[in-house]
Structure 1
């Protein structure tokens, strides 16, 4: 995972400022974090929905990579529920694989703020290519 994180540093992952907190390969579960910066906010001064969606997609994609390390997969569907708004702090994103078949993998994810407040949750479907 550290090698993957280092390779991703020059991609959108690095631009966002994501970090891996923990990874459980057997469970297909990962936790990533993001320290909120001004460029993560929208004009209302709250974290942009696109940032939250990207965090969920990144975390669930990593969970897929943990579950199927020898295969490649792409997101085919991302469903996001914006529950509450946040303006600052560190976000913790947890994602895990909940179902997989030969060609499709389904994940869930959630984003919490510093105080444990749920800000967004979602599901994602990934096609093994």
Structure 2
């Protein structure tokens, strides 16, 4: 009976590890995307700053371009930069939480295997099949 309980606990821990690693990869991808958005907004802003104030600027909307005053585009890029920084901060917090949760799950697995050394042997024999 203890054998079944240990096996069920292992399956639960394994499922949590898989779920957590999937979430962690998703957050890392989102973080990478937001970093790219932030960099594009920053570079666009730097280019706009070099232009004279009376320069005609165009904003891409789908496949067309719309004439916009320079200050409007500057404000949009500044907002994108701020939004990206906020999202990056939030995603970084999520990433840290998921990494901490991963370590806790690993520790739970270690404790389970220390409590029931026969379980490790069973797991190894199952993975060979």
TM-score grouping bracket, smaller chain normalisation:
under 0.3
- Taking structure 1 as the reference length, the TM-score comes to 0.25
TM-score scaled to structure 2, two decimals?
0.25
Relative to its length, the structure with more helix (as a share) is: 2
Question: For the pair shown, which has the larger CA radius of gyration, 1 or 2?
Answer: 2
**Greater RCO, CA 8 A, separation 6+:** 2
The structure with more strand, counted as a fraction of residues: 1
